[in-house]
Amino acid sequence: MVESVPKSICDAYSPGEATPLNKLSTAELCAETVTLKLDETGKPKTVTGDDFGDSSPVFCTLADGRPGVLKLERPKSMCELKQLEAWWAHQVISSDIMDRLGCHSVHYREAHANYNGEVLRGTACELVEEMQELAGNENLLQGLQDPDRAILGTVVCAWMGDFDRSIKNENIWFDKNKEVIYGDYGCAGLEQINAFGVMPKVNRKLFASAATPENVAAALEKIRGLSNRAIHDMVRQGARLIPTVTREVLQEMTATLIKNRDQLRQDKSWGLDLIGPAQTDSYAMPEKIAAAFLDRIREKYGDDPNRSSAEIARLALENVPGYGPDKGKDINLVSLQLSNALTRRGENGQAKIELLPDCFYAWMQLAKKIFTVDESLALGLGLKHRGL
């Protein structure tokens, strides 16, 4: 007989609350239970103000009673759920590593909530009160009390392979003391400290205004000095916050972080070109990557011999999302570059593309469209998780 459970200890899986959930594994039951904050219509209240959907950060109360944010994902299949669990693991472990290395970060853990009998799963963290994003608040960079710590955070993120704040200023956050606080590790755990093998994965705006040769060197020293054992242990310590984590994910993440550390040890001048106002305008895309782009695009969209390079480029970029306040500007530029590069490739076999940092996001999205995960890994693009 199922006894009624006192309200105070009800969690998302309490008997009588959500019958289909009795099938859930012990690991899933062990994640933190959070309570959703609902709007007037009874729907979870999203942090971004968008409609509640299958993938939204929503307001919640954490198990300890503090206000929090649940980043939930509603999988459509068991296979997708397993991919999500692996992806959550990367994010949760990354935030724990950030904290352990002294960065200012929110703390993610695996979490679930009961929404009218449906269990919503994802990762939760504490709410950053009065948070402001760097996008639109660039002036806040001038008043940082602790620029060294902000730089440490962006360098550690780069080591973890996370490129999603390199130009995306929505992913650099300020807390109510106007200090940089890190969160959103959706791309962490990827291979390579440099996007496309050439562009350091740090936030360019933050680097230009807060990086000094000293604070960059100190951050790098910290990471270069990590032993394999230390990395192995940090990954396992982070794993305590994600009960569904698998051994494969832990092994793979450890191996990636060791590889990325080795790159930082070898690349002695890493990041130095991004310090101060004299920033690099562009990076030559490695020839192997440029050739792979051009040849795949010709193969996919150049089936008609009468089609011009410009038309092939346009087809390739169809539905590729742009980034930035003037969305589409980057896509137009990439389209032009692609068209010229396709022509050159056809005329003399050259595979030359200059990567402009502001267009990096568009190239990444294009890569996602035309390469498989295995191909992208073989090229060193590191686009290996779901959704990346």
Ligand X SMILES: Nc1ncnc2c1ncn2[C@@H]1O[C@H](COP(=O)(O)OP(=O)(O)OP(=O)(O)O)[C@@H](O)[C@H]1O
Stretch that binds ligand X, among 31-39, 181-189, 247-255, 306-314 (CB under 6 A): 181-189
User: If binding is defined by CB under 6 A, does position 184 make contact with ligand X?
Assistant: yes
Contact partner, 133, from Mg ion, ligand X, none, Cβ < 5-8 Å per class: ligand X
Q: Which is nearer to ligand X, 67 or 213 (CB)?
A: 67
SS3 call for 114: strand
- Show contacts with ligand X in window 21-40 (CB under 6 A): none
DSSP assignment, residue 17? T
Q: Which is nearer to ligand X, 55 or 308 (CB)?
A: 55
Give the angle 208-163-352 at the CA atoms, nearest 5°: 85
- Show contacts with ligand X in window 64-103 (CB under 6 A): 69, 71
Q: Which of 57, 161, 271, 382 binds ligand X (CB under 6 A)?
A: 57
Contact partner, 125, from Mg ion, ligand X, none, Cβ < 5-8 Å per class: ligand X
Q: Which is nearer to ligand X, 60 or 312 (CB)?
A: 60
Q: Which is nearer to ligand X, 19 or 48 (CB)?
A: 48
Residue 222 CB, nearest approach to ligand X (Å): 25
Q: Could you tell me which residues are beta bridge partners of residue 49?
A: none
Both tokens of 120, joined, read 């919503």
Q: How many residues bind Mg ion (CB under 5 A)?
A: 2
Contact partner, 158, from Mg ion, ligand X, none, Cβ < 5-8 Å per class: none
User: If binding is defined by CB under 6 A, does position 48 make contact with ligand X?
Assistant: yes
Residue 131 CB, nearest approach to ligand X (Å): 4
CA separation for the pair 319, 366 (Å, rounded): 9
User: If binding is defined by CB under 6 A, does position 370 make contact with ligand X?
Assistant: no
* Close Cβ partners of 377 (under 8 Å, ≥ 6 residues apart): 191, 383, 384
* Close Cβ partners of 4 (under 8 Å, ≥ 6 residues apart): 16
Residue 123 CB, nearest approach to ligand X (Å): 9
Residue 186 CB, nearest approach to ligand X (Å): 5
Contact partner, 71, from ligand X, Mg ion, none, Cβ < 5-8 Å per class: ligand X
Stretch that binds ligand X, among 84-92, 164-172, 203-211, 250-258 (CB under 6 A): 164-172
Contact 180, 145 (CB under 8 A): no
CA separation for the pair 304, 11 (Å, rounded): 59
Residue 46 CB, nearest approach to ligand X (Å): 8
Contact partner, 162, from Mg ion, ligand X, none, Cβ < 5-8 Å per class: none
Contact 87, 94 (CB under 8 A): no
366-371 LR contacts (CB < 8 Å, sep 24+): 366/293, 366/316, 366/317, 366/320, 366/334, 367/293, 369/316, 369/319, 369/320, 370/293, 370/296, 370/297, 370/300, 370/316, 371/292, 371/296
Residue 126 CB, nearest approach to ligand X (Å): 6
CA separation for the pair 90, 258 (Å, rounded): 15
Question: Which H or E run includes 195?
Answer: strand 194-195
- Show contacts with Mg ion in window 147-206 (CB under 5 A): 171, 184
H runs (alpha helix) in the chain: 26-29, 78-100, 147-159, 204-210, 213-224, 228-238, 247-266, 287-301, 309-316, 329-348, 360-370, 373-378
Residue 138 CB, nearest approach to ligand X (Å): 15
Q: Which of 35, 171, 194, 260 binds ligand X (CB under 6 A)?
A: 171
CA separation for the pair 18, 5 (Å, rounded): 13
Q: Which is nearer to ligand X, 311 or 358 (CB)?
A: 358
CA separation for the pair 84, 86 (Å, rounded): 5
DSSP assignment, residue 222? H
User: If binding is defined by CB under 6 A, does position 114 make contact with ligand X?
Assistant: no
- Show contacts with ligand X in window 116-135 (CB under 6 A): 125, 127-128, 131, 133
Contact partner, 63, from ligand X, Mg ion, none, Cβ < 5-8 Å per class: none
Which residues of this protein are in contact with Mg ion, per CB under 5 A? 171, 184
